[in-house]
Amino acid sequence: MFNKRIKIKELLAQEPTGQEVTVMGWVRTFRNNQFVALNDGSTNNNIQVVIALGSQEEELLKRITTSASLKVTGTVVPSLGKGQKMDLNAATIEILGDSDAEIYPIQLKNRPSLEFLREIAHLRFRTNTFGSVFRVRHALAFAVHKFFNDKGFVYMHTPIITGSDAEGAGELFKVTSLPFDETPRKDDGSVDFSKDFFGKATNLTVSGQLEGELGATAFGDIYTFGPTFRAENSNTTRHLAEFWMIEPEMAFYDLEDNMNLAEEFIKYIIKYAMDNNKEDLEFLAQRLGEEEKQLPQDKRSEMGLLEKLEFVLNNNFERITYTEAIDILRESNYNKKKKFQYPISGWGMDLQSEHERYLVEKHFKKPVILSNYPKEIKAFYMRQNDDGKTVAAMDILAPGIGEIVGGSQREERFDNLLDRMKEMHIPEEELWWYLDTRRFGTVPHAGFGLGFERMVQFVTGMTNIRDVIAFPRTPGSAEF
């Protein structure tokens, strides 16, 4: 059998007792025609392959270059070198794939910048930084499914192509099969979507929430975890045009239940990564520490990455209302000294990322859950509070990135929901199926959405969201 091998991570966890093994991987370095640092992606750590002088043909040795792939069989022995407990004394070496080291773009001796690595995203996984980031991303994704599965939630796949705009944002990617050069038009000049593939205007989804609510009103508890799309022309470190969202919806939940679940969920998946990816997180923490040394003192984090994650796990999230937040921000020195780019104008304004980060990083110094926002700045489906001014919405704000979760108790009262839709000019006939859940056995229910990439950013300490998704889709860029 060709693939009778042991992964390097598993091998390094053993004791060197002269066992014979086969490993396969890519060459990181080859020095003195004798020592190969081999890596297979299971860990950042390499196995040192030792080639006895004269044991291999010269032609084969010339082909052992950076990023060439090898199959090595040999004996595991205690290492005589520092920093490693074992070596693999090679008996046979087979080159599976050559690599021209002269043109291979990742040269480890000149540490490549993250900006450069984004340009070669198809190869950046081979670096230690991105190896760690994407192993942590995998662990977090697995933890998401484990958390909800263990709680009895049903995993729903909601549509990627949809005829509704859950957010009412209007920043949508249109989906059409109509020819651009001969687009059918109505008498008024508008596009005749009745002749399109679906017989109506459709777009890529911005959220699976509305469909998720349909599932929750039958199964009780459901969650979605899939790609979502926003056609925002935002070239920032926080925005992507294609990203992944986790959206649970729960029947028989109110706003407090929703906040409790979201806090428990965030802590669970962070702990899972810390328990299962300790080595990767330690590497990323060291990397972030070195990066922050280049920043002015006032721009550096007060805690290291691992300290920050432990702090989140060991502290209850601060819970305040939007009104309390506005008061805190208005009275803050930052506002009085006009340090905010967007000054606090008063109650009713939409908080910006700088305001959210001030609350988390400067004022409370821990994650914050804001609730009960003005209804004018929130979506139609959020439950209206008795004060007539606010809705039962909640956002969770995290250090470094601001909003990480947005959710609400949903408006379960048919008349209230219909009135709100009319206020916001949302046609009843387009969401007749959504209104049916309020006609036939409506219940209090709630849900939230967590942007997965922002969560990965938070846990890995990466400062640009483009570095936590394999192939970022951003304005002007759909490479790979």
Q: Are residues 427 and 338 in the same domain?
A: yes
The model's pLDDT over 92-145, given as tens digits with 9 standing for 90+, comes to: 999 999 999 999 999 876 788 999 999 999 999 999 999 999 999 999 999 999
pLDDT(170) > 70:
no
- Identify the band that residue 254 occupies on the pLDDT scale cut at 50, 70 and 90: very high
- Is 23 strand, coil or helix? strand
The last residue of one of the domains, among 49, 73, 104, is: 104
Phi–psi pair at 164, nearest 5 degrees: -115, 160
Contacts of 63 (CB under 8 A, 6+ apart): 95, 98
CATH number of residue 86's parent domain: 2.40.50.140
The model's pLDDT over 290-300, given as tens digits with 9 standing for 90+, comes to: 988 888 877 77
Residue 117 included in any domain: no
Q: Are residues 374 and 311 in the same domain?
A: yes
Beta bridge mates, 391: 373, 384
Residue 178 included in any domain: no
Q: Are residues 239 and 310 in the same domain?
A: yes
Residue 188 included in any domain: no
Start-to-end Cα distance in the chain:
33
Residue numbers of the domain that contains 422: 126-171+206-467
pLDDT(237) > 90:
no
Residue 179 included in any domain: no
Least-confidence region, from 165-174, 203-212, 388-397, 416-425: 165-174
Residue 82 included in any domain: yes
Number of domains in the chain: 2
Give the model's pLDDT for residue 164. 76
C-alpha closest to that of 47 among 18, 20, 97, 10: 10
pLDDT(225) > 60:
yes
Q: Are residues 74 and 134 in the same domain?
A: no
Cα gap 379→357, rounded to integer Å: 23
pTM above 0.75, yes or no: yes
